[in-house]
Amino acid sequence: MDIFKEISEIREQGSSLVVVTITGVSGGSPGKTGFKLLVTEDGRISGTVGGGAIENLAIEEARECLRRGESKARSVDLTTIDMECGGRTDLFFEYLAGARVFTLFGGGHVGRALSQVLHLLGYDVHVYDNRPEALEELSALPGVHGYLVDYQDISPVRDILLRSEYCFIATHGHEFDYTVLHQVLATKKPFRYVGLIGSARKVKVTLQKIGETGLSIPDFVYSPVGLDLGGDSAAEIAVSIAAEVQAVEHGVKAYHMRERLKKV
């Protein structure tokens, strides 16, 4: 069971891996059915499929599966890789993607609604707020990690932020939104998506202030946030934002609300 715990921990850390399992053996194979070998994208290796040439082959092919993001089955005649024991080993290479970490700043109505939609979509959701009462409400939501943070200094959550490909900012004040966005962009991390809530006019002012500090506004910043789906309830806004995130995730063209900035 320890290896399954290790698999879970690796994925929770955001790292993808390939689990190589012996599904069958014949002859003098050094490994036994059920043996497992883990190969992660950050270079970690644990477990075994028998050692020697078969293990070297398994590691190299697992790395190729990681590069391709795919699973496969392979049957190996051990005589073809100069293993004197002979026999055959059947291997299954299972690619497992790491959890997609999503960082939210702001546990208000929209943040809570969005965190639930993102959880259903398979994201590892981390929500930060500077209000203890907001965290109490977040604690009741399944699959959501809530934390108390000072918006003026988000450095204590830097490690999780840098593991995130996605970030959303909807605090309970525009100055807080600006402060958090400035710190997020100052990390210089190439996020896939950073969303900032707000009307087109207020967003334009915020982005201008960011520019005046010397930071550029990357293409991955989406604000006003969401797809133009209509509706203004917290749940409807959350669906709009989640749809935008999925459009970015899958490279699908869609009409983003940030297009309205061009008209302001």
For 163-219, how does the pLDDT look when each residue is reduced to its tens digit (9 = 90+)? 899 999 999 999 999 999 999 999 999 999 999 999 999 999 999 999 999 999 999
Comparison of pLDDT for 197 and 97, the residue scoring more: 197
Half-sphere exposure of 178 (CA within 13 A, CB side): 15
CA distance 235 to 191: 25
pLDDT score of 90: 95
What stretch(es) of the chain map to CATH 3.40.50.720? 100-263
Average pLDDT over every residue of 139-154: 91
DSSP label at residue 77: E
CA distance 174 to 31: 60
Model confidence over 17-70: pLDDT tens digits?
999 999 999 887 788 999 999 999 989 999 999 888 999 999 999 999 999 999
User: How many other β-carbons are positioned within 10 Å of the β-carbon of residue 134?
Assistant: 20
The residues, ordered by sequence, that sit 6+ positions from 160 with a Cβ below 8 Å of its Cβ are 101, 103, 126
CB 41 within 8 A of CB 16: yes
State the chain's maximal CA–CA distance in angstroms. Answer: 74
**For residue 263, what pLDDT band results from cuts at 50, 70 and 90?**
low
Residue 47 pairs in a beta bridge with 37
Half-sphere exposure of 36 (CA within 13 A, CB side): 12
CA distance 102 to 199: 23
CA distance 40 to 59: 10
**For residue 140, what pLDDT band results from cuts at 50, 70 and 90?**
confident
Rounded to 5°, angle at Cα 243 from 66 and 263 = 120
CB 25 within 8 A of CB 77: no
Instruction: Show the tokens assigned to 263.
Output: 């008209």
Residue 5 confidence (pLDDT) above 80:
yes
Where residue 53 falls (left for φ over 0; alpha for ψ -120 to 50; beta otherwise) is: alpha
Of 107, 101, 114, which Cα lies nearest the Cα of 226? 114
Comparison of pLDDT for 14 and 253, the residue scoring more: 253
Half-sphere exposure of 251 (CA within 13 A, CB side): 0
Instruction: Show the tokens assigned to 257.
Output: 């609300």
pLDDT score of 239: 97
**For residue 85, what pLDDT band results from cuts at 50, 70 and 90?**
low
User: Does the global pTM surpass 0.85?
Assistant: no
The CATH architecture annotation of domain 100-263 reads: 3-Layer(aba) Sandwich (3.40)
